[in-house]
Structure 1
Protein backbone atom coordinates (compact mmCIF):
# COMPACT_ATOMS: atom_id res chain seq x y z
CA UNK A 1 0.00 0.00 0.00
CA UNK A 2 1.53 3.27 -1.18
CA UNK A 3 0.43 6.88 -0.85
CA UNK A 4 1.38 9.44 -3.50
CA UNK A 5 1.67 13.06 -2.35
CA UNK A 6 2.07 15.73 -5.01
CA UNK A 7 3.47 19.08 -3.96
CA UNK A 8 5.06 17.07 -1.21
CA UNK A 9 8.23 19.09 -0.73
CA UNK A 10 6.73 21.73 1.54
CA UNK A 11 3.75 23.10 3.40
CA UNK A 12 0.70 20.88 3.62
CA UNK A 13 2.17 18.12 1.45
CA UNK A 14 5.21 17.65 3.67
CA UNK A 15 3.11 17.83 6.85
CA UNK A 16 0.76 15.17 5.45
CA UNK A 17 3.68 12.93 4.52
CA UNK A 18 4.72 12.97 8.18
CA UNK A 19 1.25 11.67 9.16
CA UNK A 20 0.70 9.08 6.43
CA UNK A 21 4.33 7.99 6.42
CA UNK A 22 3.93 6.58 9.93
CA UNK A 23 1.70 3.85 8.50
CA UNK A 24 2.80 3.19 4.91
CA UNK A 25 5.37 4.01 2.22
CA UNK A 26 5.01 7.45 0.66
CA UNK A 27 5.97 8.63 -2.81
CA UNK A 28 6.72 12.32 -2.61
CA UNK A 29 6.54 14.33 -5.82
CA UNK A 30 7.40 17.96 -6.50
CA UNK A 31 8.50 19.97 -9.51
CA UNK A 32 11.56 21.40 -7.70
CA UNK A 33 14.30 18.82 -7.19
CA UNK A 34 16.27 20.75 -4.55
CA UNK A 35 13.18 21.20 -2.35
CA UNK A 36 12.34 17.52 -2.81
CA UNK A 37 15.82 16.53 -1.62
CA UNK A 38 15.42 18.73 1.46
CA UNK A 39 12.02 17.18 2.21
CA UNK A 40 13.39 13.65 1.86
CA UNK A 41 16.07 14.56 4.41
CA UNK A 42 13.42 15.78 6.85
CA UNK A 43 11.53 12.50 6.38
CA UNK A 44 14.62 10.27 6.46
CA UNK A 45 13.20 8.05 9.22
CA UNK A 46 10.18 7.14 7.08
CA UNK A 47 9.83 4.99 3.95
CA UNK A 48 9.87 7.82 1.40
CA UNK A 49 10.65 7.81 -2.31
CA UNK A 50 11.19 11.25 -3.87
CA UNK A 51 10.33 11.74 -7.55
CA UNK A 52 10.60 14.99 -9.49
CA UNK A 53 7.42 15.50 -11.50
CA UNK A 54 5.65 18.37 -13.25
CA UNK A 55 1.92 17.65 -12.86
CA UNK A 56 1.11 19.66 -16.01
CA UNK A 57 2.96 16.97 -18.02
CA UNK A 58 0.63 13.95 -18.41
CA UNK A 59 3.49 11.65 -19.44
CA UNK A 60 5.46 12.63 -16.33
CA UNK A 61 2.40 11.89 -14.17
CA UNK A 62 2.00 8.46 -15.81
CA UNK A 63 5.66 7.74 -15.02
CA UNK A 64 5.16 8.92 -11.42
CA UNK A 65 2.34 6.43 -10.88
CA UNK A 66 4.26 3.65 -12.62
CA UNK A 67 7.15 4.16 -10.21
CA UNK A 68 4.77 4.29 -7.25
CA UNK A 69 3.04 1.07 -8.38
CA UNK A 70 6.46 -0.58 -8.53
CA UNK A 71 6.66 -0.12 -4.75
CA UNK A 72 3.12 -1.37 -4.06
CA UNK A 73 -0.54 -0.79 -4.92
CA UNK A 74 -1.44 2.92 -4.88
CA UNK A 75 -4.20 3.23 -2.27
CA UNK A 76 -4.22 6.98 -1.67
CA UNK A 77 -3.23 10.25 -3.30
CA UNK A 78 -2.99 13.68 -1.73
CA UNK A 79 -2.88 16.13 -4.61
CA UNK A 80 -1.42 19.23 -2.97
CA UNK A 81 0.61 20.49 -5.96
CA UNK A 82 -0.49 23.94 -7.01
CA UNK A 83 0.59 27.55 -7.35
CA UNK A 84 -0.73 30.80 -5.90
CA UNK A 85 -1.36 34.12 -7.70
CA UNK A 86 2.03 35.56 -6.75
CA UNK A 87 3.87 32.67 -8.40
CA UNK A 88 3.05 33.33 -12.06
CA UNK A 89 0.72 34.70 -14.70
CA UNK A 90 -2.90 33.66 -15.15
CA UNK A 91 -2.17 30.94 -17.73
CA UNK A 92 0.53 29.37 -15.55
CA UNK A 93 -1.77 29.38 -12.51
CA UNK A 94 -4.67 27.86 -14.47
CA UNK A 95 -2.52 25.26 -16.20
CA UNK A 96 -0.86 24.13 -12.97
CA UNK A 97 -3.95 24.06 -10.76
CA UNK A 98 -6.63 22.87 -13.19
CA UNK A 99 -4.82 20.79 -15.83
CA UNK A 100 -2.48 19.44 -13.15
CA UNK A 101 -5.53 18.22 -11.22
CA UNK A 102 -6.99 16.54 -14.31
CA UNK A 103 -3.69 14.79 -15.06
CA UNK A 104 -3.16 13.46 -11.54
CA UNK A 105 -6.78 12.37 -11.05
CA UNK A 106 -7.24 10.77 -14.46
CA UNK A 107 -4.04 8.74 -14.18
CA UNK A 108 -5.05 7.74 -10.63
CA UNK A 109 -8.45 6.67 -12.01
CA UNK A 110 -6.74 4.40 -14.55
CA UNK A 111 -4.28 2.67 -12.22
CA UNK A 112 -5.55 2.79 -8.62
CA UNK A 113 -6.66 -0.28 -6.74
CA UNK A 114 -10.31 -0.65 -5.75
CA UNK A 115 -10.94 1.07 -2.42
CA UNK A 116 -8.33 3.77 -3.10
CA UNK A 117 -9.04 7.46 -2.50
CA UNK A 118 -7.77 10.81 -3.74
CA UNK A 119 -8.10 14.20 -2.07
CA UNK A 120 -7.54 17.36 -4.09
CA UNK A 121 -6.49 20.61 -2.44
CA UNK A 122 -8.81 23.43 -3.52
CA UNK A 123 -9.05 26.77 -1.67
CA UNK A 124 -11.40 29.07 0.22
CA UNK A 125 -10.86 31.42 -2.76
CA UNK A 126 -13.23 29.16 -4.71
CA UNK A 127 -15.91 29.80 -2.07
CA UNK A 128 -15.39 33.57 -2.12
CA UNK A 129 -15.63 33.94 -5.91
CA UNK A 130 -19.11 35.12 -7.00
CA UNK A 131 -21.06 32.32 -8.70
CA UNK A 132 -21.53 34.36 -11.88
CA UNK A 133 -17.74 34.53 -12.33
CA UNK A 134 -17.34 30.73 -12.38
CA UNK A 135 -17.53 29.44 -15.99
CA UNK A 136 -18.61 25.96 -14.90
CA UNK A 137 -20.26 25.22 -18.25
CA UNK A 138 -16.77 25.23 -19.80
CA UNK A 139 -15.11 23.11 -17.09
CA UNK A 140 -15.76 19.73 -18.78
CA UNK A 141 -13.52 20.84 -21.69
CA UNK A 142 -10.50 20.38 -19.40
CA UNK A 143 -10.86 16.62 -19.84
CA UNK A 144 -11.46 16.73 -23.60
CA UNK A 145 -9.52 19.64 -25.09
CA UNK A 146 -6.90 21.33 -22.94
CA UNK A 147 -6.33 24.21 -25.34
CA UNK A 148 -10.05 25.00 -25.66
CA UNK A 149 -10.39 24.91 -21.86
CA UNK A 150 -7.42 27.23 -21.30
CA UNK A 151 -8.71 29.61 -23.98
CA UNK A 152 -12.12 29.71 -22.29
CA UNK A 153 -10.54 30.38 -18.90
CA UNK A 154 -8.35 33.12 -20.42
CA UNK A 155 -11.58 34.69 -21.66
CA UNK A 156 -12.63 35.08 -18.02
CA UNK A 157 -9.30 36.49 -16.80
CA UNK A 158 -8.16 38.75 -19.65
CA UNK A 159 -10.94 41.38 -19.36
CA UNK A 160 -9.81 41.97 -15.76
CA UNK A 161 -7.21 44.60 -14.78
CA UNK A 162 -3.72 43.14 -15.23
CA UNK A 163 -2.94 43.10 -11.50
CA UNK A 164 -6.04 40.98 -10.78
CA UNK A 165 -5.72 38.34 -13.49
CA UNK A 166 -3.56 35.83 -11.60
CA UNK A 167 -5.82 36.11 -8.56
CA UNK A 168 -8.96 35.51 -10.64
CA UNK A 169 -7.24 32.59 -12.40
CA UNK A 170 -6.37 31.14 -9.00
CA UNK A 171 -9.94 31.39 -7.68
CA UNK A 172 -11.41 30.00 -10.92
CA UNK A 173 -8.83 27.17 -11.04
CA UNK A 174 -9.70 26.18 -7.47
CA UNK A 175 -13.42 26.38 -8.30
CA UNK A 176 -12.56 23.92 -11.06
CA UNK A 177 -10.89 21.60 -8.52
CA UNK A 178 -14.07 21.67 -6.41
CA UNK A 179 -16.26 21.05 -9.47
CA UNK A 180 -14.11 18.19 -10.74
CA UNK A 181 -13.97 16.46 -7.35
CA UNK A 182 -17.75 16.57 -7.14
CA UNK A 183 -18.71 15.91 -10.76
CA UNK A 184 -16.50 12.84 -11.14
CA UNK A 185 -17.54 11.11 -7.91
CA UNK A 186 -20.06 8.77 -9.53
CA UNK A 187 -17.64 7.81 -12.31
CA UNK A 188 -14.89 7.16 -9.77
CA UNK A 189 -17.24 5.10 -7.63
CA UNK A 190 -17.83 2.87 -10.64
CA UNK A 191 -14.23 1.71 -10.15
CA UNK A 192 -14.52 1.59 -6.36
CA UNK A 193 -12.62 4.86 -5.86
CA UNK A 194 -13.37 7.89 -3.68
CA UNK A 195 -12.63 11.51 -4.63
CA UNK A 196 -12.85 14.51 -2.29
CA UNK A 197 -11.61 18.10 -2.25
CA UNK A 198 -10.49 20.15 0.74
CA UNK A 199 -10.52 23.97 0.69
CA UNK A 200 -7.91 25.39 3.08
CA UNK A 201 -7.95 28.96 4.29
CA UNK A 202 -4.75 30.94 4.85
CA UNK A 203 -2.21 28.36 6.00
CA UNK A 204 1.15 29.23 7.54
CA UNK A 205 3.30 27.91 4.70
CA UNK A 206 5.82 29.51 2.39
CA UNK A 207 3.12 29.85 -0.28
CA UNK A 208 0.56 31.15 2.20
CA UNK A 209 2.90 33.85 3.49
CA UNK A 210 3.62 34.90 -0.09
CA UNK A 211 -0.07 35.69 -0.48
CA UNK A 212 -0.17 37.48 2.88
CA UNK A 213 2.14 40.08 1.42
CA UNK A 214 -0.24 40.34 -1.54
CA UNK A 215 -3.20 41.14 0.70
CA UNK A 216 -4.67 37.81 1.82
CA UNK A 217 -3.51 38.46 5.38
CA UNK A 218 -6.39 40.89 5.92
CA UNK A 219 -8.84 37.98 5.60
CA UNK A 220 -7.09 36.16 8.45
CA UNK A 221 -7.41 39.13 10.80
CA UNK A 222 -11.15 39.26 10.16
CA UNK A 223 -11.84 35.52 10.42
CA UNK A 224 -13.93 33.81 13.09
CA UNK A 225 -10.64 32.20 14.17
CA UNK A 226 -8.33 35.20 13.65
CA UNK A 227 -5.06 33.36 13.05
CA UNK A 228 -3.25 31.44 10.38
CA UNK A 229 -3.98 27.75 10.03
CA UNK A 230 -1.13 25.35 10.72
CA UNK A 231 -0.02 22.88 8.04
CA UNK A 232 -0.45 20.11 10.63
CA UNK A 233 -4.13 21.03 11.04
CA UNK A 234 -4.61 20.49 7.33
CA UNK A 235 -2.44 17.35 7.27
CA UNK A 236 -4.61 15.43 9.72
CA UNK A 237 -7.73 16.29 7.69
CA UNK A 238 -6.14 15.33 4.37
CA UNK A 239 -4.86 12.05 5.84
CA UNK A 240 -8.31 11.28 7.25
CA UNK A 241 -10.01 11.92 3.89
CA UNK A 242 -8.00 9.17 2.18
CA UNK A 243 -8.15 6.75 5.11
CA UNK A 244 -10.50 3.78 5.45
CA UNK A 245 -12.22 5.63 8.29
CA UNK A 246 -13.64 8.03 5.69
CA UNK A 247 -15.09 5.29 3.52
CA UNK A 248 -18.45 7.09 3.14
CA UNK A 249 -16.88 10.42 2.14
CA UNK A 250 -16.83 11.25 -1.57
CA UNK A 251 -17.92 13.89 -4.07
CA UNK A 252 -17.80 16.77 -1.64
CA UNK A 253 -15.62 19.69 -0.58
CA UNK A 254 -14.55 20.31 3.01
CA UNK A 255 -13.94 23.98 3.81
CA UNK A 256 -11.29 24.33 6.54
CA UNK A 257 -10.65 28.06 6.66
CA UNK A 258 -10.94 29.23 10.26
CA UNK A 259 -14.38 30.60 9.48
CA UNK A 260 -13.24 33.19 6.93
CA UNK A 261 -15.99 32.41 4.42
CA UNK A 262 -18.64 32.30 7.16
CA UNK A 263 -17.47 35.68 8.49
CA UNK A 264 -17.35 37.29 5.04
CA UNK A 265 -20.84 36.07 4.14
CA UNK A 266 -22.40 37.14 7.43
CA UNK A 267 -20.82 40.59 7.22
CA UNK A 268 -22.12 40.94 3.67
CA UNK A 269 -25.62 39.95 4.82
CA UNK A 270 -25.57 42.46 7.66
CA UNK A 271 -24.25 45.20 5.37
CA UNK A 272 -26.99 44.56 2.82
CA UNK A 273 -29.60 45.01 5.55
CA UNK A 274 -28.08 48.34 6.49
Structure 2
Protein backbone atom coordinates (compact mmCIF):
# COMPACT_ATOMS: atom_id res chain seq x y z
CA UNK A 1 0.00 0.00 0.00
CA UNK A 2 1.15 3.55 -0.75
CA UNK A 3 2.61 5.39 2.24
CA UNK A 4 2.05 9.12 2.52
CA UNK A 5 3.64 11.89 4.56
CA UNK A 6 1.62 15.03 5.25
CA UNK A 7 3.55 18.30 5.39
CA UNK A 8 1.69 21.34 6.69
CA UNK A 9 3.14 24.65 5.62
CA UNK A 10 4.13 22.64 2.60
CA UNK A 11 4.38 25.59 0.25
CA UNK A 12 7.08 27.20 2.40
CA UNK A 13 10.82 26.83 2.09
CA UNK A 14 11.27 24.14 4.74
CA UNK A 15 8.12 22.34 3.67
CA UNK A 16 9.19 22.05 0.04
CA UNK A 17 12.74 21.06 0.95
CA UNK A 18 11.42 18.34 3.23
CA UNK A 19 9.02 17.09 0.58
CA UNK A 20 11.96 16.58 -1.79
CA UNK A 21 13.56 14.26 0.77
CA UNK A 22 10.58 12.21 1.96
CA UNK A 23 9.10 12.12 -1.54
CA UNK A 24 11.93 9.89 -2.73
CA UNK A 25 10.23 6.78 -1.39
CA UNK A 26 6.62 7.73 -0.63
CA UNK A 27 3.77 9.99 -1.64
CA UNK A 28 3.57 13.50 -0.22
CA UNK A 29 0.56 15.59 0.69
CA UNK A 30 1.27 19.30 0.98
CA UNK A 31 -1.11 21.49 2.98
CA UNK A 32 -1.02 25.28 3.03
CA UNK A 33 -3.34 28.31 2.94
CA UNK A 34 -1.67 29.80 -0.15
CA UNK A 35 -3.10 28.12 -3.22
CA UNK A 36 -0.78 29.74 -5.77
CA UNK A 37 2.26 28.70 -3.75
CA UNK A 38 0.83 25.21 -3.35
CA UNK A 39 0.35 24.88 -7.08
CA UNK A 40 3.91 26.05 -7.74
CA UNK A 41 5.35 23.65 -5.14
CA UNK A 42 3.37 20.75 -6.58
CA UNK A 43 4.64 21.53 -10.08
CA UNK A 44 8.25 21.60 -8.87
CA UNK A 45 7.89 18.29 -7.02
CA UNK A 46 6.08 16.61 -9.88
CA UNK A 47 8.96 17.50 -12.21
CA UNK A 48 11.22 15.58 -9.81
CA UNK A 49 9.00 12.52 -10.12
CA UNK A 50 7.44 12.90 -6.67
CA UNK A 51 3.82 11.87 -6.23
CA UNK A 52 2.20 14.92 -4.67
CA UNK A 53 -1.29 15.91 -3.57
CA UNK A 54 -2.20 19.39 -2.34
CA UNK A 55 -4.89 20.55 0.08
CA UNK A 56 -5.69 24.16 0.91
CA UNK A 57 -6.26 23.98 4.66
CA UNK A 58 -6.06 26.42 7.57
CA UNK A 59 -4.64 24.70 10.66
CA UNK A 60 -6.61 27.02 12.95
CA UNK A 61 -9.79 25.34 11.65
CA UNK A 62 -10.14 21.89 13.25
CA UNK A 63 -12.72 20.75 10.68
CA UNK A 64 -10.32 21.68 7.87
CA UNK A 65 -7.56 19.70 9.61
CA UNK A 66 -9.82 16.68 9.99
CA UNK A 67 -10.61 16.92 6.28
CA UNK A 68 -6.91 17.18 5.49
CA UNK A 69 -6.09 13.92 7.27
CA UNK A 70 -9.11 12.24 5.71
CA UNK A 71 -7.77 13.17 2.28
CA UNK A 72 -4.33 11.89 3.25
CA UNK A 73 -5.81 8.53 4.28
CA UNK A 74 -7.44 8.29 0.86
CA UNK A 75 -4.02 8.74 -0.77
CA UNK A 76 -2.44 5.99 1.31
CA UNK A 77 -1.44 4.85 4.77
CA UNK A 78 -0.29 7.87 6.79
CA UNK A 79 3.36 7.29 7.66
CA UNK A 80 4.00 10.70 9.19
CA UNK A 81 2.89 14.27 9.60
CA UNK A 82 5.51 17.01 9.55
CA UNK A 83 3.81 20.05 11.00
CA UNK A 84 5.73 23.03 9.66
CA UNK A 85 2.80 25.46 9.35
CA UNK A 86 3.22 28.57 11.45
CA UNK A 87 3.66 32.32 11.42
CA UNK A 88 6.39 34.66 12.64
CA UNK A 89 5.97 37.80 14.78
CA UNK A 90 6.10 40.08 11.74
CA UNK A 91 3.07 38.39 10.19
CA UNK A 92 0.37 39.44 12.65
CA UNK A 93 -0.67 40.43 16.15
CA UNK A 94 -0.26 38.34 19.29
CA UNK A 95 -3.64 36.60 18.99
CA UNK A 96 -3.06 35.65 15.35
CA UNK A 97 0.37 34.26 16.18
CA UNK A 98 -0.94 32.30 19.17
CA UNK A 99 -3.94 30.87 17.32
CA UNK A 100 -1.84 29.76 14.38
CA UNK A 101 1.17 28.37 16.20
CA UNK A 102 -0.32 26.98 19.39
CA UNK A 103 -3.91 26.07 18.52
CA UNK A 104 -2.89 25.07 15.00
CA UNK A 105 -0.42 22.62 16.48
CA UNK A 106 -3.05 21.30 18.86
CA UNK A 107 -5.53 20.73 16.02
CA UNK A 108 -3.05 18.94 13.76
CA UNK A 109 -1.71 16.74 16.54
CA UNK A 110 -5.07 15.81 18.02
CA UNK A 111 -6.44 14.93 14.58
CA UNK A 112 -3.31 12.85 13.96
CA UNK A 113 -3.74 11.09 17.31
CA UNK A 114 -7.35 10.25 16.51
CA UNK A 115 -6.76 8.83 13.03
CA UNK A 116 -3.14 7.84 12.35
CA UNK A 117 -2.28 4.14 12.07
CA UNK A 118 0.08 2.43 14.50
CA UNK A 119 3.72 3.15 13.71
CA UNK A 120 3.12 6.66 12.38
CA UNK A 121 5.04 9.69 13.66
CA UNK A 122 4.37 13.40 13.95
CA UNK A 123 7.15 15.97 13.94
CA UNK A 124 6.27 19.46 15.15
CA UNK A 125 8.31 22.53 14.27
CA UNK A 126 9.03 24.60 17.38
CA UNK A 127 11.76 27.26 17.48
CA UNK A 128 14.98 28.30 19.19
CA UNK A 129 12.85 31.14 20.58
CA UNK A 130 11.32 28.60 22.96
CA UNK A 131 14.81 27.85 24.30
CA UNK A 132 15.72 31.51 24.76
CA UNK A 133 12.60 32.50 26.71
CA UNK A 134 13.21 32.72 30.50
CA UNK A 135 11.31 29.89 32.21
CA UNK A 136 9.76 32.22 34.77
CA UNK A 137 7.69 34.00 32.09
CA UNK A 138 6.49 30.87 30.29
CA UNK A 139 2.90 30.17 31.45
CA UNK A 140 3.50 26.42 31.51
CA UNK A 141 0.96 25.93 34.28
CA UNK A 142 -1.77 26.97 31.82
CA UNK A 143 -0.59 24.85 28.87
CA UNK A 144 -2.83 21.85 29.82
CA UNK A 145 -5.87 24.11 29.31
CA UNK A 146 -5.37 23.64 25.57
CA UNK A 147 -6.65 20.08 25.96
CA UNK A 148 -9.56 21.15 28.15
CA UNK A 149 -10.80 24.61 27.19
CA UNK A 150 -9.27 26.33 24.17
CA UNK A 151 -10.92 29.68 24.88
CA UNK A 152 -9.49 29.79 28.41
CA UNK A 153 -6.14 28.64 27.08
CA UNK A 154 -6.03 31.47 24.55
CA UNK A 155 -7.09 33.99 27.22
CA UNK A 156 -4.29 32.90 29.56
CA UNK A 157 -1.69 32.89 26.78
CA UNK A 158 -2.59 36.42 25.69
CA UNK A 159 -2.61 37.57 29.31
CA UNK A 160 0.96 36.30 29.61
CA UNK A 161 1.88 38.40 26.57
CA UNK A 162 0.84 41.62 28.33
CA UNK A 163 4.14 41.44 30.22
CA UNK A 164 5.65 43.01 27.10
CA UNK A 165 4.94 46.45 25.60
CA UNK A 166 2.31 46.44 22.86
CA UNK A 167 4.87 46.57 20.05
CA UNK A 168 6.68 43.49 21.40
CA UNK A 169 3.70 41.29 22.17
CA UNK A 170 3.60 39.42 18.87
CA UNK A 171 7.24 38.46 19.48
CA UNK A 172 6.49 37.22 22.99
CA UNK A 173 3.42 35.38 21.66
CA UNK A 174 5.66 33.66 19.14
CA UNK A 175 8.11 32.49 21.79
CA UNK A 176 5.34 31.33 24.14
CA UNK A 177 3.49 29.56 21.33
CA UNK A 178 6.65 27.67 20.37
CA UNK A 179 7.29 26.84 24.04
CA UNK A 180 3.82 25.29 23.97
CA UNK A 181 4.72 23.24 20.89
CA UNK A 182 7.81 21.99 22.69
CA UNK A 183 5.82 21.22 25.87
CA UNK A 184 3.05 19.41 24.00
CA UNK A 185 5.50 17.27 22.06
CA UNK A 186 7.05 16.12 25.32
CA UNK A 187 4.05 15.89 27.65
CA UNK A 188 1.90 13.87 25.23
CA UNK A 189 4.54 11.27 24.33
CA UNK A 190 3.21 8.58 26.68
CA UNK A 191 -0.37 9.11 25.52
CA UNK A 192 0.70 8.89 21.88
CA UNK A 193 2.75 5.78 22.56
CA UNK A 194 -0.40 4.15 23.91
CA UNK A 195 -1.61 4.17 20.30
CA UNK A 196 1.77 3.16 18.88
CA UNK A 197 2.55 6.68 17.69
CA UNK A 198 5.68 8.82 18.05
CA UNK A 199 5.76 12.57 18.66
CA UNK A 200 8.83 14.81 18.40
CA UNK A 201 9.55 18.51 18.03
CA UNK A 202 12.42 20.19 16.20
CA UNK A 203 13.52 23.74 17.00
CA UNK A 204 15.08 25.54 14.02
CA UNK A 205 17.23 28.61 14.35
CA UNK A 206 17.21 31.36 11.72
CA UNK A 207 16.58 29.55 8.44
CA UNK A 208 17.01 31.19 5.04
CA UNK A 209 13.38 31.09 3.97
CA UNK A 210 10.87 33.78 3.10
CA UNK A 211 9.40 33.67 6.61
CA UNK A 212 12.79 33.49 8.29
CA UNK A 213 14.04 36.56 6.49
CA UNK A 214 11.00 38.55 7.66
CA UNK A 215 12.61 38.56 11.10
CA UNK A 216 16.06 39.61 9.89
CA UNK A 217 15.56 43.21 10.95
CA UNK A 218 13.78 42.22 14.16
CA UNK A 219 16.77 40.69 15.89
CA UNK A 220 17.35 37.41 14.10
CA UNK A 221 20.14 38.90 12.00
CA UNK A 222 22.13 39.86 15.09
CA UNK A 223 21.67 36.42 16.63
CA UNK A 224 22.92 34.76 13.45
CA UNK A 225 26.07 36.88 13.50
CA UNK A 226 26.79 35.82 17.09
CA UNK A 227 26.13 32.10 16.56
CA UNK A 228 28.73 29.35 16.80
CA UNK A 229 28.04 28.84 13.08
CA UNK A 230 27.62 32.49 12.03
CA UNK A 231 25.31 32.11 9.06
CA UNK A 232 21.68 31.45 8.21
CA UNK A 233 20.66 27.82 8.14
CA UNK A 234 19.66 26.25 4.86
CA UNK A 235 16.16 24.78 4.38
CA UNK A 236 17.84 21.56 3.24
CA UNK A 237 19.66 21.30 6.58
CA UNK A 238 16.31 21.32 8.35
CA UNK A 239 14.70 19.05 5.76
CA UNK A 240 17.08 16.15 6.32
CA UNK A 241 16.56 16.35 10.09
CA UNK A 242 12.77 16.58 9.82
CA UNK A 243 12.68 13.68 7.38
CA UNK A 244 14.85 11.54 9.65
CA UNK A 245 12.71 12.26 12.72
CA UNK A 246 9.62 11.22 10.77
CA UNK A 247 11.19 8.05 9.39
CA UNK A 248 11.12 4.50 10.68
CA UNK A 249 14.86 4.79 11.35
CA UNK A 250 14.03 7.08 14.28
CA UNK A 251 11.73 4.51 15.87
CA UNK A 252 13.17 5.08 19.37
CA UNK A 253 12.88 8.87 19.19
CA UNK A 254 9.86 10.39 20.93
CA UNK A 255 8.89 12.95 23.55
CA UNK A 256 11.84 15.25 22.98
CA UNK A 257 12.93 18.40 21.15
CA UNK A 258 15.95 18.69 18.87
CA UNK A 259 17.52 22.14 18.69
CA UNK A 260 19.09 22.85 15.28
CA UNK A 261 20.12 26.49 15.47
CA UNK A 262 23.76 26.71 14.44
CA UNK A 263 24.75 27.09 18.08
CA UNK A 264 22.86 30.35 18.70
CA UNK A 265 21.44 29.24 22.07
CA UNK A 266 24.72 27.66 23.18
CA UNK A 267 26.70 30.79 22.28
CA UNK A 268 24.27 33.18 23.95
CA UNK A 269 24.20 31.13 27.15
CA UNK A 270 27.99 30.90 27.31
CA UNK A 271 28.39 34.63 26.68
CA UNK A 272 25.88 35.33 29.46
CA UNK A 273 27.76 32.99 31.81
CA UNK A 274 31.09 34.66 31.06
CA UNK A 275 29.58 38.11 31.47
CA UNK A 276 28.17 37.17 34.86
CA UNK A 277 31.45 35.58 35.92
CA UNK A 278 33.41 38.67 34.91
CA UNK A 279 30.98 40.93 36.75
CA UNK A 280 31.29 38.81 39.90
CA UNK A 281 35.09 38.96 39.80
CA UNK A 282 35.25 42.76 39.60
TM-score range, shorter chain: over 0.9
What is the alpha-carbon root mean square deviation over aligned residues?
0.6
The answer for the alignment partner of 1:171 in structure 2 is: 175
The answer for the alignment partner of 2:33 in structure 1 is: 31
The whole-number CA distance in structure 2 between the counterparts of 1:31 and 1:171 is 22
Q: Which residue of 114, 130, 134 corresponds with 2:134?
A: 130
The answer for the alignment partner of 1:41 in structure 2 is: 43
1:86 maps onto 2:103 in alignment: no
Structure 1 stretch displaced more, 39-48 or 60-69:
39-48
The answer for the alignment partner of 1:149 in structure 2 is: 153
Pairing of 1:2-17 with structure 2 (within 5 A): 2-17=4-19
Structure 1 unaligned blocks of 5 or more: none
The whole-number CA distance in structure 1 between the counterparts of 2:202 and 2:182 is 8
The whole-number CA distance in structure 2 between the counterparts of 1:136 and 1:215 is 25
CA deviations 1:139-170 (Å, max 9, x no partner) are 01112111100100111112421111000000
CA deviations 1:244-263 (Å, max 9, x no partner) are 11000000000000000000
Question: Scaled by the length of structure 2, what TM-score is found?
Answer: 0.96
Q: Which residue of 229, 237, 242 corresponds with 2:241?
A: 237
Q: Note the C-alpha offset of 1:17.
A: 0.4
The answer for the alignment partner of 1:162 in structure 2 is: 166
Structure 1 stretch displaced more, 238-247 or 154-163:
154-163
1:76 maps onto 2:80 in alignment: yes
1:65 maps onto 2:79 in alignment: no
The answer for the alignment partner of 2:230 in structure 1 is: 226
The whole-number CA distance in structure 2 between the counterparts of 1:93 and 1:60 is 18
Structure 2 unaligned blocks of 5 or more: none
The whole-number CA distance in structure 1 between the counterparts of 2:105 and 2:77 is 21
The answer for the alignment partner of 1:97 in structure 2 is: 101
The whole-number CA distance in structure 2 between the counterparts of 1:57 and 1:68 is 17
Q: Which residue of 117, 120, 125 corresponds with 2:124?
A: 120
The answer for the alignment partner of 1:139 in structure 2 is: 143
Question: Scaled by the length of structure 1, what TM-score is found?
Answer: 0.99
Q: Note the C-alpha offset of 1:73.
A: 1.2
The answer for the alignment partner of 2:58 in structure 1 is: 54
Structure 1 runs (4+) greater than 2 angstroms displaced: none
Q: Note the C-alpha offset of 1:227.
A: 0.4
